[in-house]
Homo-oligomer: A and B are copies of this chain.
Amino acid sequence: MFKLVHQDKNSNARLGKLTTAQGEIDTPCFMPVGTHATIKGLYPKDVEEAGAQIMLSNTYHLFLRPGMEVIRKAGGLHKFISWHKPILTDSGGYQVFSLALLRKISDKGVEFQSHIDGTKHFFTPEDVIDIQRDLGSDIMMPLDECSHYPCIKDHAEVAMKRTIDWAKRSYKHKQEYKGGGPNRNQLLFGIVQGAVYADLRNICAKELVDIGFDGYAIGGVSVGEPTNLIYNILEITALVLPVQKPRYAMGIGYPPDILEAIGRGIDMFDCVVPTRYGRNGTAFTSAGKVKIGNSPYIEDFGSLDEGCSCYVCKNFSRAYLRHLFNAREMLGLTLLSLHNVYFFLDLMRKARKAIQENQFSEFKKEFLGNYNNSPCA
């Protein structure tokens, strides 16, 4: 299911191809996030056209709204949202810990109250697999317990051990269940927890590898810890993961973080940043971030990013985008979101090309030089 295509000669960056029921994904890849069954503000066709090979959607949100009854009857998530490429669904674990109210965690599972209407729910690891079976995603994630930052080691160890236990139950449940879902060839990844503690990460990774997942995610990163700690966790964890399986850094992140992670051997990324920043009027460009509402752009008739080939950059000026943003027009937010998603996807295309040519470190250095040193960054 995963083929290592090329290993960069001068870094840990690698080129891969992941095959799923709905199609192939070139890695390193970025997954735009469609929390409520929509990548906010964008038509699926435009996201596919921008080059997305896979998107992510959130089990917790879909379970609460529209609810599994509707998605089951629609024939699964792909049909419901009209997305024809692979989908990865998360386990809901992170959202239960960050969004839900009054959660109670035990070895059995997690009880929580909906952040929308306060209704009570209980997720076991088995439930979460069943939900994702009904969603029909191409890649499923098992329920895990994510530690906050900072987190004392004893607590991190308890969460890590529970994550391993739940991973085993998830794996077993997936092996045992028969039919019923719209997608018969779902992959299941393991999630490495262990907070900022190298030895815990190490133990967790090894135990998960023994179970034998289709890929491995590194969870509980980018939860408030300093950037160098994120890079460090990714690096040490990647080193104990099997070379022949895809590695996914959950919720990472900003362009520099993504490139640093690729250089440390990570293959898959997701983040809400492109659309969230777009809705707030910030564009990502090769010369850093552009806050489009700012006055220097009033009469700036250049495109957002001169070298960019997206629909937005080929058709609209910063002056027009600024006008839309200042007039509070939806179109401004959707155009910035589309550009940002394209920018992240294009960054991955360029990264893959650089790896293929054993030039990843040079590419990263040049990109970061332009991105970080611009006056508008």
Residues of chain A having any CB pair with chain B under 8 Å: 36-38, 40-45, 65-66, 69-70, 73-74, 80-82, 298-299, 301, 311, 315-317, 319-320, 322-324, 326-327, 329-335
| Cβ-defined contact, A40 with B80, below 8 A | no
From the candidates B44, B311, B329, name the one contacting A38 in the complex (CB within 8 A): B329
| Cβ-defined contact, A327 with B41, below 8 A | no
How many copies altogether?
2
| Cβ-defined contact, B41 with A323, below 8 A | no
Q: What's the nearest-Cβ distance from chain B to residue A310, in Å?
A: 12
What chain B residues lie within 8 Å of A299 (beta carbons)? Answer: 69-70, 73
Determine the main DSSP class of A at the interface with B: helix
| Cβ-defined contact, B82 with A327, below 8 A | no
What chain B residues lie within 8 Å of A40 (beta carbons)? Answer: 329-331
- Pick from A37, A44, A74, A323 the residue with the most CB of B within 10 Å: A323
| Cβ-defined contact, B330 with A80, below 8 A | no
Q: Knowing A37-B323, A40-B330, A320-B80, say if A73 contacts B301 (CB, 8 Å).
A: yes
Question: Once bound together, how far apart are the Cα atoms of A82 and B321, in whole Å?
Answer: 11
Instruction: Closest B residue to A39 by CB, please name it.
Output: B331
Q: Knowing A311-B43, A324-B38, say if A74 contacts B329 (CB, 8 Å).
A: no
| Cβ-defined contact, A323 with B70, below 8 A | yes
In the A-B complex, the 4 residue pairs with the closest CB atoms = A82-B315, A66-B323, A41-B330, A38-B331
What chain B residues lie within 8 Å of A42 (beta carbons)? Answer: 331
From the candidates B37, B324, B333, name the one contacting A320 in the complex (CB within 8 A): B37
Question: Once bound together, how far apart are the Cα atoms of A333 and B333, in whole Å?
Answer: 13
Q: What's the nearest-Cβ distance from chain B to residue A135, in Å?
A: 14
| Cβ-defined contact, B298 with A36, below 8 A | no
Q: Knowing A319-B66, A320-B37, say if A301 contacts B43 (CB, 8 Å).
A: no
Instruction: Closest B residue to A75 by CB, please name it.
Output: B301
Q: Knowing A311-B45, A319-B70, say if A330 contacts B330 (CB, 8 Å).
A: yes
Q: Knowing A73-B299, A74-B301, say if A43 contacts B331 (CB, 8 Å).
A: yes
Q: What's the nearest-Cβ distance from chain B to residue A83, in Å?
A: 10
What chain B residues lie within 8 Å of A311 (beta carbons)? Answer: 43, 45
Q: Knowing A43-B331, A65-B323, say if A316 contacts B70 (CB, 8 Å).
A: no
